[in-house]
Amino acid sequence: HIKIATANINENVPMTTDYWVDKFYYKSLTGTAVKYFKSPASKRLTFEPMELRYRVPNTNIDVGVYGELTWSKEFRQKHEEIQTLPRTPGDKLPRVVAAFMFSSDGMQATHFSSTKIWPIYLMFGNESTLDRGSPELNSLLQVRHIPNVSSCCRIAEGLAK
């Protein structure tokens, strides 16, 4: 089952509702990441954070430029945080942040019916925005399928399998 946040209109109603989802097909996120990092596509990934700044001409104003996820303050902080974690003896592997980004959109399953599915896609924020948006690079990885919500979900209260 999954928890879905709901509007808190009435304080007697919980903020989340449990739903059972039948036919929830998925791939392991860890397995998908490992496979992608071992593929030739990994050469396009950036694991070292960067900071880009812009100084406004004729002023002392200096501002951060944000165009890639790896330029963000949060990415830099997480990178520094994992570098300081204790290592086990013999561990010489690089420590990196894998930035998972998800998207979804309903799609019609066939031409001859009104059946819809909701694929969930994974992209890595370590890849440049330009590369992620380039269809020929296949950066959009399908990792989940959720059937149409109205046909697969039911409120879990009292309906547990």
User: In angstroms, how far is CA 127 from the centroid of its own chain?
Assistant: 12
Name the residue among 63, 136, 146, 66 with its Cα closest to residue 102. 146
Question: Across 25-39, 90-104, 145-159, which has the greatest mean pLDDT?
Answer: 90-104
How far is the C-alpha of 36 from the C-alpha of 26, rounded, in Å? Answer: 16
- Taking only the tens place, the pLDDT of each residue in 116-150 is 778 889 999 999 999 998 989 989 898 887 766 55
Whether this prediction's pTM lies above 0.85 is answered by no
Name the residue among 50, 51, 33 with its Cα closest to residue 42. 33
- Taking only the tens place, the pLDDT of each residue in 47-100 is 999 999 999 999 999 999 988 999 999 999 999 999 999 999 999 999 999 999
